[in-house]
Amino acid sequence: MEMDLKKLKMMAKNVLVVQDAKEKQSEGGIIIAETDTQRAKPQGVIVSVGSQVQTLTSGERVIWGDYAGQIVKEYKDGTVARVMTEDDILAVIT
């Protein structure tokens, strides 16, 4: 059964974030892998927030730590959906 992220209701201080794909592609379709020395912190877009989240809103781009949250869905293109707490978010990208 395919999970619909829109049907997930975040509880308390949890947020649902869709992480950007890990692999980058050139315009010609060549996959460009990141090396460990070039690795940036994971980032993505908030899809849903719990009722007790005070500082974040849906649609904001955020950065979090490498091991934050729990993966709830993985897509074939490398995109990942994660549930994490508001405290796991390190920064909002403006």
67 within some domain:
yes
Contact yes or no for 59/17 (Cβ under 8 A): no
What's the CATH code of the domain at 48?
A: 2.30.33.40
Question: What's the structural domain count of the chain?
Answer: 1
Question: Residue 32's pLDDT is what?
Answer: 65
6 within some domain:
no
CA 22/CA 85 separation, integer angstroms: 22
9 within some domain:
no
Range of the domain at 62: 20-93
CA 14/CA 19 separation, integer angstroms: 15
One pLDDT digit (tens) per residue for the chain, 94 residues: 567 887 889 999 999 999 987 666 667 777 666 555 456 789 999 999 999 999 999 999 999 999 999 999 888 777 899 999 999 999 999 9
74 within some domain:
yes
13 within some domain:
no
77 within some domain:
yes
2 within some domain:
no
4 within some domain:
no
* Two structure tokens written together for 53: 């989240």
